[in-house]
Amino acid sequence: MDPKIVEPTIFELSSHGRIGVTMPASDVPETALPPKDLLRSDLPLPELAEVDVVRHYMHLSKFNYSVDSGFYPLGSCTMKYNPKINEDTCRLPGFLFTHPLQPIETVQGNLALMYQLQEWLKEIAGFAGVTLQPAAGAHGEFTGVLMMRAYHKSRGDHKRMKMLIPDAAHGTNPASVGMLGMSVVTIPSDERGNVDLKALEAACDDTVVGMMLTNPNTLGMFDENIEKVIALVHKCGGLMYGDGANLNALLGIVRPGDLGFDVMHFNLHKTFAVPHGGGGPGVGPVGVAAHLVDFLPEPLVGILEEGEDDGETAPLFGYVKPAKTIGRMKAFNGHFGGGFVRSFTYIAMHGPDGLKDIAQYAVLNANYLQARLRSTYHIPYDRICMHEFVAEGRFEGSDVRALDIAKRLMDYNFHPPTNYFPLIVPEALMIEPTETENKDTLDAFADALIKIAEEAKSQPELLHNAPHITPFGRMDEVKAARELVLCCWLPEGYDTSA
Protein backbone atom coordinates (compact mmCIF):
# COMPACT_ATOMS: atom_id res chain seq x y z
CA MET A 1 0.00 0.00 0.00
CA ASP A 2 1.32 3.37 -0.99
CA PRO A 3 -0.64 6.27 0.50
CA LYS A 4 -0.34 9.36 -1.67
CA ILE A 5 -2.61 11.45 0.50
CA VAL A 6 -2.52 10.88 4.19
CA GLU A 7 -5.52 11.75 6.28
CA PRO A 8 -4.92 11.08 9.96
CA THR A 9 -7.62 9.30 11.91
CA ILE A 10 -9.91 11.48 13.97
CA PHE A 11 -8.16 10.14 17.06
CA GLU A 12 -4.81 11.31 15.75
CA LEU A 13 -6.27 14.76 15.07
CA SER A 14 -7.55 14.99 18.63
CA SER A 15 -5.96 17.43 21.04
CA HIS A 16 -6.77 17.24 24.71
CA GLY A 17 -9.03 20.05 25.84
CA ARG A 18 -10.09 21.16 22.36
CA ILE A 19 -13.86 21.06 22.24
CA GLY A 20 -16.50 21.67 19.60
CA VAL A 21 -19.42 22.67 21.76
CA THR A 22 -20.19 25.14 24.49
CA MET A 23 -22.39 23.53 27.07
CA PRO A 24 -25.29 25.74 28.20
CA ALA A 25 -25.88 26.35 31.86
CA SER A 26 -27.73 23.45 33.42
CA ASP A 27 -31.48 23.99 33.74
CA VAL A 28 -32.01 20.98 36.01
CA PRO A 29 -30.86 20.53 39.59
CA GLU A 30 -27.38 19.12 39.99
CA THR A 31 -27.16 15.60 41.31
CA ALA A 32 -24.31 13.44 42.52
CA LEU A 33 -22.59 11.11 40.05
CA PRO A 34 -22.78 7.35 40.64
CA PRO A 35 -19.95 5.89 42.76
CA LYS A 36 -16.56 6.30 41.15
CA ASP A 37 -15.97 2.61 40.59
CA LEU A 38 -19.03 2.53 38.34
CA LEU A 39 -17.72 5.38 36.18
CA ARG A 40 -15.66 4.80 33.09
CA SER A 41 -12.58 6.97 32.88
CA ASP A 42 -10.67 5.38 30.02
CA LEU A 43 -12.88 6.18 27.04
CA PRO A 44 -10.53 7.99 24.66
CA LEU A 45 -13.07 10.02 22.72
CA PRO A 46 -11.47 12.44 20.26
CA GLU A 47 -11.56 16.13 21.11
CA LEU A 48 -11.83 18.49 18.14
CA ALA A 49 -13.48 21.72 17.07
CA GLU A 50 -16.45 21.48 14.72
CA VAL A 51 -14.48 22.81 11.76
CA ASP A 52 -11.80 20.13 12.23
CA VAL A 53 -14.43 17.40 12.23
CA VAL A 54 -16.13 18.78 9.11
CA ARG A 55 -12.82 19.03 7.24
CA HIS A 56 -11.77 15.56 8.30
CA TYR A 57 -14.92 13.95 6.92
CA MET A 58 -14.85 16.18 3.85
CA HIS A 59 -11.35 14.89 3.10
CA LEU A 60 -12.43 11.30 3.62
CA SER A 61 -15.48 11.78 1.38
CA LYS A 62 -13.16 12.79 -1.47
CA PHE A 63 -11.53 9.34 -1.28
CA ASN A 64 -14.91 7.79 -1.92
CA TYR A 65 -16.37 6.64 -5.20
CA SER A 66 -20.12 6.55 -5.61
CA VAL A 67 -22.78 6.23 -8.26
CA ASP A 68 -23.07 10.02 -8.06
CA SER A 69 -19.42 10.38 -9.06
CA GLY A 70 -19.16 7.80 -11.82
CA PHE A 71 -20.14 4.57 -13.55
CA TYR A 72 -20.64 1.68 -11.14
CA PRO A 73 -21.15 -1.59 -13.07
CA LEU A 74 -21.11 -3.83 -9.99
CA GLY A 75 -22.82 -6.99 -11.23
CA SER A 76 -25.90 -8.25 -9.38
CA CYS A 77 -25.97 -5.11 -7.22
CA THR A 78 -27.97 -2.94 -9.65
CA MET A 79 -26.12 0.25 -8.73
CA LYS A 80 -28.45 2.52 -10.62
CA TYR A 81 -28.50 6.26 -10.25
CA ASN A 82 -30.94 7.25 -7.52
CA PRO A 83 -33.12 10.19 -8.54
CA LYS A 84 -32.79 13.12 -6.17
CA ILE A 85 -36.55 13.66 -5.91
CA ASN A 86 -36.53 10.55 -3.69
CA GLU A 87 -34.39 12.51 -1.24
CA ASP A 88 -36.99 15.30 -1.15
CA THR A 89 -39.95 13.03 -0.54
CA CYS A 90 -38.31 10.96 2.17
CA ARG A 91 -37.54 14.18 4.03
CA LEU A 92 -41.10 15.51 3.94
CA PRO A 93 -41.87 16.38 7.58
CA GLY A 94 -44.99 14.19 7.64
CA PHE A 95 -42.81 11.18 6.96
CA LEU A 96 -39.68 12.31 8.75
CA PHE A 97 -41.16 13.31 12.10
CA THR A 98 -43.43 10.34 12.72
CA HIS A 99 -42.95 7.36 14.97
CA PRO A 100 -44.17 3.79 14.40
CA LEU A 101 -45.81 3.73 17.84
CA GLN A 102 -48.06 6.71 17.08
CA PRO A 103 -51.81 5.98 17.06
CA ILE A 104 -52.77 4.90 13.54
CA GLU A 105 -55.20 7.80 13.18
CA THR A 106 -52.22 10.19 13.28
CA VAL A 107 -50.12 8.38 10.63
CA GLN A 108 -52.72 7.61 7.98
CA GLY A 109 -50.50 9.04 5.26
CA ASN A 110 -47.63 6.73 6.14
CA LEU A 111 -49.93 3.71 6.28
CA ALA A 112 -51.57 4.66 2.98
CA LEU A 113 -48.12 4.83 1.37
CA MET A 114 -47.20 1.41 2.73
CA TYR A 115 -50.53 -0.06 1.62
CA GLN A 116 -50.10 1.34 -1.89
CA LEU A 117 -46.51 0.08 -2.07
CA GLN A 118 -47.70 -3.42 -1.07
CA GLU A 119 -50.35 -3.24 -3.81
CA TRP A 120 -47.88 -2.04 -6.44
CA LEU A 121 -45.33 -4.72 -5.64
CA LYS A 122 -48.09 -7.35 -5.85
CA GLU A 123 -49.05 -6.08 -9.27
CA ILE A 124 -45.48 -5.68 -10.55
CA ALA A 125 -44.44 -9.24 -9.66
CA GLY A 126 -47.77 -11.04 -9.86
CA PHE A 127 -48.33 -12.02 -6.24
CA ALA A 128 -51.37 -12.19 -3.95
CA GLY A 129 -49.70 -10.72 -0.86
CA VAL A 130 -46.61 -8.74 0.13
CA THR A 131 -44.87 -8.02 3.43
CA LEU A 132 -42.65 -4.96 3.58
CA GLN A 133 -40.94 -5.94 6.84
CA PRO A 134 -37.65 -7.66 5.92
CA ALA A 135 -34.65 -5.41 6.36
CA ALA A 136 -32.75 -6.58 3.29
CA GLY A 137 -32.58 -9.29 0.64
CA ALA A 138 -31.14 -12.06 2.79
CA HIS A 139 -33.64 -11.25 5.53
CA GLY A 140 -36.34 -11.57 2.86
CA GLU A 141 -34.96 -14.99 1.94
CA PHE A 142 -35.08 -16.08 5.56
CA THR A 143 -38.67 -14.81 5.82
CA GLY A 144 -39.66 -16.55 2.59
CA VAL A 145 -38.13 -19.88 3.54
CA LEU A 146 -39.81 -19.70 6.98
CA MET A 147 -43.14 -19.35 5.20
CA MET A 148 -42.35 -22.30 2.91
CA ARG A 149 -41.60 -24.44 5.94
CA ALA A 150 -44.74 -23.25 7.73
CA TYR A 151 -46.79 -24.11 4.64
CA HIS A 152 -45.49 -27.69 4.51
CA LYS A 153 -45.93 -28.16 8.28
CA SER A 154 -49.51 -26.85 8.13
CA ARG A 155 -50.24 -29.72 5.73
CA GLY A 156 -48.73 -32.26 8.12
CA ASP A 157 -45.73 -32.62 5.83
CA HIS A 158 -42.79 -32.63 8.23
CA LYS A 159 -40.04 -34.41 6.33
CA ARG A 160 -39.19 -31.68 3.84
CA MET A 161 -35.75 -30.39 4.93
CA LYS A 162 -33.83 -30.12 1.65
CA MET A 163 -33.53 -26.97 -0.45
CA LEU A 164 -32.42 -27.15 -4.06
CA ILE A 165 -30.08 -24.30 -5.03
CA PRO A 166 -28.29 -23.87 -8.39
CA ASP A 167 -24.51 -23.45 -8.43
CA ALA A 168 -24.96 -19.96 -9.89
CA ALA A 169 -26.89 -18.76 -6.81
CA HIS A 170 -25.99 -15.89 -4.53
CA GLY A 171 -24.23 -17.12 -1.39
CA THR A 172 -27.04 -15.73 0.72
CA ASN A 173 -29.41 -18.48 -0.52
CA PRO A 174 -27.59 -21.42 1.09
CA ALA A 175 -26.80 -19.23 4.10
CA SER A 176 -30.50 -18.46 4.71
CA VAL A 177 -31.35 -22.13 4.37
CA GLY A 178 -28.52 -23.07 6.74
CA MET A 179 -29.84 -20.65 9.36
CA LEU A 180 -33.10 -22.61 9.34
CA GLY A 181 -31.30 -25.90 9.89
CA MET A 182 -32.15 -27.23 6.45
CA SER A 183 -29.69 -28.83 4.09
CA VAL A 184 -28.73 -27.62 0.63
CA VAL A 185 -28.56 -29.69 -2.53
CA THR A 186 -26.54 -27.92 -5.22
CA ILE A 187 -27.95 -28.18 -8.74
CA PRO A 188 -25.41 -27.66 -11.54
CA SER A 189 -25.91 -25.33 -14.50
CA ASP A 190 -25.91 -26.71 -18.05
CA GLU A 191 -23.66 -25.46 -20.84
CA ARG A 192 -26.12 -22.70 -21.75
CA GLY A 193 -26.24 -21.36 -18.21
CA ASN A 194 -29.67 -22.83 -17.42
CA VAL A 195 -30.56 -25.12 -14.53
CA ASP A 196 -29.48 -28.66 -15.48
CA LEU A 197 -32.90 -30.33 -15.83
CA LYS A 198 -31.63 -33.89 -15.46
CA ALA A 199 -29.82 -33.07 -12.22
CA LEU A 200 -32.90 -31.22 -10.99
CA GLU A 201 -35.21 -34.10 -11.78
CA ALA A 202 -32.91 -36.52 -9.97
CA ALA A 203 -32.88 -34.29 -6.86
CA CYS A 204 -36.65 -33.78 -6.67
CA ASP A 205 -38.38 -35.99 -4.10
CA ASP A 206 -40.74 -35.74 -1.15
CA THR A 207 -38.03 -34.38 1.16
CA VAL A 208 -37.62 -31.19 -0.86
CA VAL A 209 -38.84 -27.94 0.70
CA GLY A 210 -38.45 -26.24 -2.63
CA MET A 211 -35.98 -24.54 -4.87
CA MET A 212 -34.38 -21.11 -4.64
CA LEU A 213 -33.76 -19.67 -8.07
CA THR A 214 -32.52 -16.31 -9.26
CA ASN A 215 -33.97 -15.59 -12.68
CA PRO A 216 -32.30 -14.11 -14.61
CA ASN A 217 -29.44 -15.83 -12.83
CA THR A 218 -26.06 -14.42 -11.84
CA LEU A 219 -24.71 -15.15 -15.33
CA GLY A 220 -27.33 -12.69 -16.57
CA MET A 221 -29.15 -15.52 -18.29
CA PHE A 222 -32.92 -15.93 -18.35
CA ASP A 223 -33.50 -19.62 -17.75
CA GLU A 224 -34.77 -20.93 -21.07
CA ASN A 225 -36.55 -23.82 -19.33
CA ILE A 226 -38.03 -21.83 -16.49
CA GLU A 227 -41.52 -23.34 -16.86
CA LYS A 228 -40.09 -26.88 -16.86
CA VAL A 229 -37.92 -26.09 -13.82
CA ILE A 230 -40.89 -24.81 -11.86
CA ALA A 231 -43.10 -27.70 -12.99
CA LEU A 232 -40.50 -30.24 -11.78
CA VAL A 233 -40.27 -28.61 -8.35
CA HIS A 234 -44.05 -28.38 -8.00
CA LYS A 235 -44.49 -31.97 -9.17
CA CYS A 236 -42.57 -33.28 -6.14
CA GLY A 237 -44.53 -31.03 -3.81
CA GLY A 238 -41.85 -28.37 -3.43
CA LEU A 239 -42.35 -24.62 -3.52
CA MET A 240 -40.54 -22.27 -5.85
CA TYR A 241 -38.62 -19.40 -4.25
CA GLY A 242 -37.51 -16.50 -6.43
CA ASP A 243 -34.46 -14.46 -5.47
CA GLY A 244 -35.59 -11.09 -6.79
CA ALA A 245 -32.10 -9.59 -6.93
CA ASN A 246 -32.30 -9.42 -10.70
CA LEU A 247 -35.90 -8.23 -11.03
CA ASN A 248 -34.68 -5.08 -12.78
CA ALA A 249 -34.43 -7.06 -16.01
CA LEU A 250 -38.07 -8.17 -15.89
CA LEU A 251 -40.08 -5.09 -14.88
CA GLY A 252 -43.18 -4.80 -17.02
CA ILE A 253 -42.11 -7.74 -19.19
CA VAL A 254 -42.79 -10.88 -17.18
CA ARG A 255 -44.16 -11.41 -13.68
CA PRO A 256 -42.50 -14.11 -11.55
CA GLY A 257 -45.87 -14.94 -9.97
CA ASP A 258 -47.31 -15.69 -13.42
CA LEU A 259 -44.37 -18.01 -14.14
CA GLY A 260 -45.31 -20.07 -11.08
CA PHE A 261 -42.99 -18.73 -8.38
CA ASP A 262 -44.65 -19.16 -4.99
CA VAL A 263 -42.47 -16.72 -3.02
CA MET A 264 -40.05 -13.97 -4.02
CA HIS A 265 -38.16 -11.24 -2.25
CA PHE A 266 -37.71 -7.84 -3.82
CA ASN A 267 -34.57 -5.79 -3.33
CA LEU A 268 -36.04 -2.29 -3.23
CA HIS A 269 -32.48 -1.00 -2.78
CA LYS A 270 -31.57 -2.45 -6.17
CA THR A 271 -34.62 -2.41 -8.41
CA PHE A 272 -36.44 0.55 -6.92
CA ALA A 273 -33.64 3.04 -6.36
CA VAL A 274 -32.82 3.10 -2.68
CA PRO A 275 -29.16 4.12 -2.34
CA HIS A 276 -27.09 1.19 -1.11
CA GLY A 277 -23.57 0.01 -0.74
CA GLY A 278 -21.33 0.49 2.23
CA GLY A 279 -23.67 -1.55 4.34
CA GLY A 280 -27.13 -0.29 3.78
CA PRO A 281 -29.92 0.33 4.04
CA GLY A 282 -31.43 -2.72 2.38
CA VAL A 283 -35.15 -3.23 1.97
CA GLY A 284 -36.34 -6.76 1.21
CA PRO A 285 -40.13 -7.10 0.90
CA VAL A 286 -41.45 -10.58 0.15
CA GLY A 287 -44.31 -11.42 -2.19
CA VAL A 288 -46.28 -14.67 -2.01
CA ALA A 289 -48.85 -16.54 -4.09
CA ALA A 290 -52.41 -17.00 -2.78
CA HIS A 291 -51.73 -20.30 -0.96
CA LEU A 292 -49.06 -18.61 1.21
CA VAL A 293 -50.84 -15.35 2.06
CA ASP A 294 -52.00 -16.63 5.45
CA PHE A 295 -48.39 -17.24 6.52
CA LEU A 296 -47.11 -13.70 5.90
CA PRO A 297 -45.41 -11.96 8.84
CA GLU A 298 -47.55 -9.73 10.99
CA PRO A 299 -48.54 -7.00 10.83
CA LEU A 300 -49.43 -6.12 7.26
CA VAL A 301 -50.94 -2.80 6.41
CA GLY A 302 -54.61 -3.21 5.51
CA ILE A 303 -57.83 -1.24 5.23
CA LEU A 304 -59.76 -1.39 8.52
CA GLU A 305 -62.73 0.67 7.32
CA GLU A 306 -63.57 1.25 3.69
CA GLY A 307 -63.79 4.86 2.51
CA GLU A 308 -66.54 6.34 0.43
CA ASP A 309 -66.63 7.75 -3.06
CA ASP A 310 -67.83 11.14 -1.80
CA GLY A 311 -64.29 12.49 -1.98
CA GLU A 312 -64.33 13.24 1.73
CA THR A 313 -64.30 9.91 3.58
CA ALA A 314 -60.92 8.26 3.18
CA PRO A 315 -60.44 4.63 4.17
CA LEU A 316 -58.96 3.94 7.60
CA PHE A 317 -55.62 2.19 7.21
CA GLY A 318 -54.23 0.07 10.01
CA TYR A 319 -52.49 -3.17 10.87
CA VAL A 320 -53.88 -6.62 10.09
CA LYS A 321 -52.70 -10.07 11.12
CA PRO A 322 -52.60 -12.97 8.65
CA ALA A 323 -54.42 -16.08 9.92
CA LYS A 324 -51.40 -18.43 10.25
CA THR A 325 -48.68 -15.78 10.45
CA ILE A 326 -45.08 -16.80 11.02
CA GLY A 327 -44.89 -13.81 13.38
CA ARG A 328 -42.92 -10.63 13.38
CA MET A 329 -39.69 -10.47 11.39
CA LYS A 330 -38.60 -7.03 12.52
CA ALA A 331 -39.33 -4.46 15.18
CA PHE A 332 -41.72 -1.83 13.83
CA ASN A 333 -42.56 -1.74 10.12
CA GLY A 334 -39.32 -2.06 8.20
CA HIS A 335 -37.20 0.66 6.59
CA PHE A 336 -39.90 3.22 6.11
CA GLY A 337 -38.33 6.55 5.24
CA GLY A 338 -35.09 5.32 3.75
CA GLY A 339 -36.75 2.54 1.79
CA PHE A 340 -40.51 2.67 1.33
CA VAL A 341 -40.82 6.40 0.62
CA ARG A 342 -37.98 6.40 -1.88
CA SER A 343 -39.24 3.31 -3.72
CA PHE A 344 -42.84 4.58 -3.67
CA THR A 345 -41.63 7.82 -5.25
CA TYR A 346 -39.58 5.96 -7.83
CA ILE A 347 -42.47 3.72 -8.88
CA ALA A 348 -44.92 6.64 -8.92
CA MET A 349 -42.57 8.78 -11.02
CA HIS A 350 -42.06 6.04 -13.60
CA GLY A 351 -45.51 4.53 -13.89
CA PRO A 352 -46.12 1.22 -15.68
CA ASP A 353 -44.59 2.28 -19.00
CA GLY A 354 -41.57 3.82 -17.30
CA LEU A 355 -40.92 0.63 -15.35
CA LYS A 356 -40.99 -1.35 -18.57
CA ASP A 357 -38.51 1.12 -20.09
CA ILE A 358 -36.18 0.49 -17.15
CA ALA A 359 -36.03 -3.23 -17.88
CA GLN A 360 -35.62 -2.72 -21.62
CA TYR A 361 -32.81 -0.18 -21.31
CA ALA A 362 -31.05 -2.22 -18.63
CA VAL A 363 -31.05 -5.25 -20.93
CA LEU A 364 -30.10 -3.22 -23.98
CA ASN A 365 -27.16 -1.60 -22.18
CA ALA A 366 -25.82 -4.93 -20.96
CA ASN A 367 -26.09 -6.47 -24.41
CA TYR A 368 -24.39 -3.46 -25.98
CA LEU A 369 -21.43 -3.79 -23.61
CA GLN A 370 -21.28 -7.52 -24.12
CA ALA A 371 -21.23 -7.06 -27.89
CA ARG A 372 -18.43 -4.48 -27.67
CA LEU A 373 -16.28 -6.67 -25.39
CA ARG A 374 -16.98 -10.09 -26.91
CA SER A 375 -13.93 -10.14 -29.19
CA THR A 376 -11.55 -8.99 -26.40
CA TYR A 377 -12.77 -10.92 -23.36
CA HIS A 378 -13.95 -14.52 -23.35
CA ILE A 379 -17.68 -14.74 -22.53
CA PRO A 380 -18.20 -18.33 -21.38
CA TYR A 381 -22.02 -18.29 -21.63
CA ASP A 382 -22.31 -16.26 -24.78
CA ARG A 383 -25.91 -15.63 -25.72
CA ILE A 384 -28.29 -12.69 -25.51
CA CYS A 385 -28.00 -11.64 -21.89
CA MET A 386 -30.44 -9.87 -19.63
CA HIS A 387 -29.33 -7.01 -17.35
CA GLU A 388 -25.76 -8.29 -16.83
CA PHE A 389 -23.17 -10.65 -18.25
CA VAL A 390 -20.04 -12.40 -17.04
CA ALA A 391 -16.69 -12.23 -18.83
CA GLU A 392 -13.43 -13.99 -17.97
CA GLY A 393 -10.67 -11.66 -16.79
CA ARG A 394 -7.78 -13.71 -18.11
CA PHE A 395 -5.83 -14.05 -21.34
CA GLU A 396 -4.00 -16.95 -22.97
CA GLY A 397 -0.34 -16.92 -21.94
CA SER A 398 -0.71 -14.01 -19.50
CA ASP A 399 -0.53 -13.99 -15.71
CA VAL A 400 -2.96 -11.05 -15.53
CA ARG A 401 -6.03 -11.96 -13.48
CA ALA A 402 -9.50 -10.52 -12.99
CA LEU A 403 -8.34 -8.71 -9.86
CA ASP A 404 -5.61 -6.87 -11.83
CA ILE A 405 -8.13 -5.78 -14.46
CA ALA A 406 -10.57 -4.63 -11.79
CA LYS A 407 -7.88 -2.57 -10.05
CA ARG A 408 -6.65 -1.05 -13.31
CA LEU A 409 -10.19 0.12 -14.14
CA MET A 410 -9.96 2.45 -11.14
CA ASP A 411 -7.17 4.30 -12.96
CA TYR A 412 -9.71 4.98 -15.69
CA ASN A 413 -12.15 6.38 -13.10
CA PHE A 414 -14.56 3.47 -13.21
CA HIS A 415 -15.77 1.39 -10.31
CA PRO A 416 -14.68 -2.20 -11.00
CA PRO A 417 -17.31 -4.80 -11.80
CA THR A 418 -17.98 -7.62 -9.35
CA ASN A 419 -15.14 -10.08 -9.61
CA TYR A 420 -14.67 -13.75 -8.73
CA PHE A 421 -18.44 -14.24 -8.72
CA PRO A 422 -20.31 -16.27 -9.84
CA LEU A 423 -17.96 -19.07 -8.82
CA ILE A 424 -18.72 -21.18 -11.89
CA VAL A 425 -16.79 -18.77 -14.14
CA PRO A 426 -13.01 -18.68 -13.66
CA GLU A 427 -11.62 -15.15 -13.10
CA ALA A 428 -15.16 -13.80 -13.37
CA LEU A 429 -15.89 -10.16 -14.17
CA MET A 430 -19.61 -9.61 -13.68
CA ILE A 431 -20.79 -6.47 -15.43
CA GLU A 432 -24.17 -4.79 -14.87
CA PRO A 433 -24.40 -1.32 -16.40
CA THR A 434 -28.07 -0.64 -15.42
CA GLU A 435 -30.50 1.44 -17.46
CA THR A 436 -29.28 4.81 -16.21
CA GLU A 437 -26.10 4.99 -18.31
CA ASN A 438 -25.91 6.65 -21.71
CA LYS A 439 -24.05 5.33 -24.73
CA ASP A 440 -21.07 7.66 -24.19
CA THR A 441 -20.48 6.23 -20.72
CA LEU A 442 -20.86 2.66 -21.97
CA ASP A 443 -18.42 3.33 -24.80
CA ALA A 444 -15.88 4.94 -22.49
CA PHE A 445 -16.08 1.89 -20.22
CA ALA A 446 -15.73 -0.57 -23.10
CA ASP A 447 -12.81 1.45 -24.50
CA ALA A 448 -11.08 1.31 -21.11
CA LEU A 449 -11.53 -2.47 -20.84
CA ILE A 450 -10.21 -2.96 -24.38
CA LYS A 451 -7.21 -0.74 -23.63
CA ILE A 452 -6.57 -2.68 -20.42
CA ALA A 453 -6.54 -5.92 -22.41
CA GLU A 454 -3.80 -4.42 -24.59
CA GLU A 455 -1.90 -3.27 -21.50
CA ALA A 456 -2.17 -6.80 -20.12
CA LYS A 457 -0.06 -7.96 -23.06
CA SER A 458 2.33 -5.01 -23.41
CA GLN A 459 2.91 -3.98 -19.78
CA PRO A 460 1.43 -6.51 -17.35
CA GLU A 461 3.24 -4.89 -14.41
CA LEU A 462 1.06 -1.82 -14.88
CA LEU A 463 -1.92 -4.03 -14.07
CA HIS A 464 -0.30 -6.03 -11.29
CA ASN A 465 0.49 -2.80 -9.42
CA ALA A 466 -2.72 -0.94 -10.21
CA PRO A 467 -4.39 1.29 -9.19
CA HIS A 468 -1.93 4.14 -9.64
CA ILE A 469 -4.00 7.33 -9.50
CA THR A 470 -6.20 6.60 -6.49
CA PRO A 471 -5.42 8.05 -3.03
CA PHE A 472 -4.26 4.59 -2.00
CA GLY A 473 -2.57 2.02 -4.20
CA ARG A 474 -3.02 -1.76 -4.18
CA MET A 475 -4.25 -2.87 -0.78
CA ASP A 476 -2.73 -5.93 0.84
CA GLU A 477 -5.92 -8.00 0.96
CA VAL A 478 -4.17 -11.00 2.48
CA LYS A 479 -2.76 -9.02 5.38
CA ALA A 480 -6.13 -7.32 5.84
CA ALA A 481 -7.92 -10.66 6.05
CA ARG A 482 -5.34 -12.45 8.19
CA GLU A 483 -4.47 -9.74 10.67
CA LEU A 484 -7.75 -8.35 11.84
CA VAL A 485 -7.60 -5.26 14.04
CA LEU A 486 -11.19 -4.34 14.66
CA CYS A 487 -10.90 -1.39 16.99
CA CYS A 488 -9.94 2.17 16.42
CA TRP A 489 -7.12 2.28 18.92
CA LEU A 490 -4.76 -0.49 19.88
CA PRO A 491 -5.38 -2.12 23.23
CA GLU A 492 -2.62 -1.60 25.75
CA GLY A 493 0.10 -4.17 25.31
CA TYR A 494 -0.98 -5.15 21.78
CA ASP A 495 2.00 -6.60 19.98
CA THR A 496 2.05 -4.88 16.58
CA SER A 497 5.06 -6.86 15.43
CA ALA A 498 3.17 -10.16 15.54
Binding mask 169-208 for other proteins (x = CB under 8 A): --x-------------------------------------
| Closest distance of CB 413 from other proteins, Å | 24
| Closest distance of CB 421 from other proteins, Å | 8
| Closest distance of CB 260 from other proteins, Å | 31
Q: Among residues 474, 452, 467, 475, which one has the least CA distance to residue 394?
A: 452
Residue 421 binds other proteins, judged by CB under 8 A: yes
Residue 127 binds other proteins, judged by CB under 8 A: no
| Closest distance of CB 168 from other proteins, Å | 14
Question: Looking at 23, 478, 486, 498, which residue binds other proteins (CB under 8 A)?
Answer: 478
**Region 146-175 residues binding other proteins, contact defined as CB under 8 A:** 171
The neighbour count for residue 45, using CB atoms within 10 Å, is 8
Residue 23 binds other proteins, judged by CB under 8 A: no
> What span, in angstroms and rounded, lies between the C-alpha atoms of 237 and 155?
11
Residue 495 binds other proteins, judged by CB under 8 A: no
Size of the site for other proteins (CB under 8 A): 10
Residue 481 binds other proteins, judged by CB under 8 A: yes
Residue 482 binds other proteins, judged by CB under 8 A: yes
Going from the C-alpha of 257 to that of each of 52, 238, 250, 327, the distances in angstroms are 54, 15, 12, 23
Question: Looking at 161, 420, 441, 462, which residue binds other proteins (CB under 8 A)?
Answer: 420
Toward other proteins, which CB reaches closer, 193 or 242? 193
| Closest distance of CB 205 from other proteins, Å | 18
Toward other proteins, which CB reaches closer, 231 or 423? 423
Residue 423 binds other proteins, judged by CB under 8 A: yes
Binding site for other proteins (CB under 8 A): 171, 403, 420-421, 423, 426, 477-478, 481-482
